[in-house]
């Protein structure tokens, strides 16, 4: 029995030693094979596409044309022919003002004009007679003729100045009749009959009235700098207003300022609106839907494929089974996808889950 027990123990030891040698050989083989030690990483090939999203931005609706009317001369309101909400046409008489002192100024200017005209006609007649007489040699001294001509020219200048002064007063009288500059609606009226109005003083604090063109409106939107490049002229846009829920309106981009506001860093964009049904009113605040579609195709990758460190933003490419960081610039981010810009090619393989801890040259299986 002792011999048998000794044999059994010997066989068991031999088997254990063989198994240990085999395991050590496998471990050494794994250490020696870099492919076996390399971590497995999920990769993908990025594709180019046009990323599209939308954003809501507020804007203000105003009349296509709007003007505040003030008095040109100090006067009193004699009559008002319109009121708030009145529809007016270009050239229509809106109000009549009166300024009695202007009538006196006109009479004085007219008297000066007649006086200067009479003086000029007299000196002109004298010069003409001397000129005709001077045709006979020796009858009129040349100096006398030149003096008469100078007097005539001076009186003519005075006559023209009086004529201009008279015309100026007449033009001021024309400002006493206020007419509509374009078709529109009276939006505000700030004076009543008999009120004092003028270019200075208490009567100039507020306009007499405000006229707005409402058949056609303009919607002004301040588009942030990062989105201004997505919009083009004649591009159709849709918008809504809170006072008319459930209704959607449309218009086209008619004008872009072409410059950024120095304070808001935004570009002013104006949309023309045909308001033939008069549903929209100047002063309304609209919510404009801006479609932000890329002009050119760009690389779009999952957000997890981009990481940011103190050195910038990077993606990790796999080249010959080795990792390589590629610096990129991030664009818009939509639904887990993000635009990237950098030195990328169509067949570049990128790691799906990039991490700052993955250094360049890491072997990838």
Residue 247 in any domain: the answer is no
* Chain mean position to CA 359: 46
Residue 155, SS3 per DSSP: helix
Q: Do the Cβ atoms of 25 and 17 come closer than 8 Å? A: no
Give residue 361's pLDDT: 85
137 and 163 together in one domain: yes
Give tens-digit pLDDT for 334-348. 778 888 888 888 788
357 and 324 together in one domain: yes
Give residue 96's pLDDT: 94
Q: Do the Cβ atoms of 354 and 316 come closer than 8 Å? A: yes
Low-confidence ranges of the chain (pLDDT < 70): 1-39, 51, 294-296
Phi and psi, residue 82, nearest 5°: -135, 170
Residue 325 in any domain: the answer is yes
191 and 143 together in one domain: no
Give residue 25's pLDDT: 45
* Number of domains present in the structure of the chain: 3
Residue 308 in any domain: the answer is yes
Q: CA 129, CA 107: separation in Å to the nearest integer?
A: 33
CA distances from 347 to 43, 47, 48, 299 (A): 12, 9, 11, 12
Query: 155, 175, 195 — which closes off a domain?
Result: 175
| CATH at residue 336 | 2.40.420.20
Give residue 32's pLDDT: 46
Residue 347 in any domain: the answer is yes
138 and 72 together in one domain: no
90 and 132 together in one domain: no
Query: 209, 229, 252 — which closes off a domain?
Result: 209
| CATH at residue 77 | 2.40.50.100
Give tens-digit pLDDT for 14-67. 454 545 544 444 455 444 444 445 667 888 888 887 767 788 899 999 999 999
127 and 162 together in one domain: yes
Give residue 37's pLDDT: 53
Work out the end-to-end distance of the chain between its first and last CA atoms, rounded to an integer number of angstroms. 56
Give residue 295's pLDDT: 63
| CATH at residue 120 | 1.10.287
Residue 31 in any domain: the answer is no
88 and 189 together in one domain: yes
Q: Do the Cβ atoms of 170 and 187 come closer than 8 Å? A: no
| Tokens, residue 30 | 């794994």
Give residue 334's pLDDT: 75
123 burial class (0-12, 13-18, 19+ CB within 10 angstroms)? buried
89 and 186 together in one domain: yes
Give residue 10's pLDDT: 56
Print the domain residue range for 346.
297-363
Give residue 50's pLDDT: 73
Give residue 192's pLDDT: 92
Query: 154, 186, 209 — which closes off a domain?
Result: 209
Selection from 215, 274, 272, 217 nearest residue 88 by Cα: 215
Give residue 294's pLDDT: 67
306 and 201 together in one domain: no
197 and 76 together in one domain: yes
Residue 114 in any domain: the answer is yes
77 and 202 together in one domain: yes
109 and 82 together in one domain: no
Residue 233 in any domain: the answer is no
Number of residues assigned to the chain: 365
Residue 32 in any domain: the answer is no
């Amino acid at each position: 029995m002792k011999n048998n027990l000794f044999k059994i123990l010997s066989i068991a030891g031999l088997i254990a030693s063989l198994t240990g040698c085999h395991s050590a050989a496998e471990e050494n083989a794994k250490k020696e094979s870099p492919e076996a030690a390399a971590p497995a990483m999920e990769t993908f090939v990025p594709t180019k596409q046009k990323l599209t999203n939308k954003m809501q931005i507020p804007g203000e609706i105003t009349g296509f044309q709007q003007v505040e009317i003030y008095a040109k001369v100090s006067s009193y309101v004699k009559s008002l022919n319109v009121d708030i909400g009145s529809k007016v046409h270009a050239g229509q008489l809106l109000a009549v003002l009166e300024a009695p002192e202007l009538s006196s100024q006109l009479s004085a200017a007219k008297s000066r004009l007649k006086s200067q005209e009479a003086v000029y006609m007299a000196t002109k007649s004298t010069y003409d007679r001397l000129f005709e007489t001077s045709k006979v040699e020796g009858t009129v001294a040349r100096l006398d003729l030149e003096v008469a001509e100078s007097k005539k020219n001076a009186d003519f200048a005075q006559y023209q100045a009086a004529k201009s002064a008279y015309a100026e007063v007449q033009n001021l009288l024309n400002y006493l009749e206020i007419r509509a500059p374009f078709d529109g609606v009276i939006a505000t009226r700030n004076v009543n009959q008999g009120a004092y109005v003028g270019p200075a003083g208490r009567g100039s604090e507020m306009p007499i009235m405000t006229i707005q063109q409402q058949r056609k409106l303009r919607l002004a939107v301040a588009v942030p700098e990062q989105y201004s490049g997505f919009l083009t002229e004649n591009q159709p846009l849709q918008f809504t207003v809170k006072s008319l829920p459930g209704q959607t309106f449309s218009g086209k981009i008619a004008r872009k300022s072409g410059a950024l506001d120095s304070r808001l860093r935004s570009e002013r964009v104006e949309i023309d609106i045909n308001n033939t049904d008069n549903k929209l009113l100047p002063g309304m605040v609209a919510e404009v839907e801006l479609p932000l579609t890329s002009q050119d195709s760009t690389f779009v990758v999952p957000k997890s494929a981009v990481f940011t460190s103190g050195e910038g933003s990077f993606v990790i490419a796999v080249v010959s089974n080795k990792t390589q960081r590629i610096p990129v610039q991030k664009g818009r981010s939509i639904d887990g996808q993000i635009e990237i810009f950098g030195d990328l090619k169509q067949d570049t393989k990128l790691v799906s889950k990039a991490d700052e801890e993955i250094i360049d040259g890491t072997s990838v299986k």
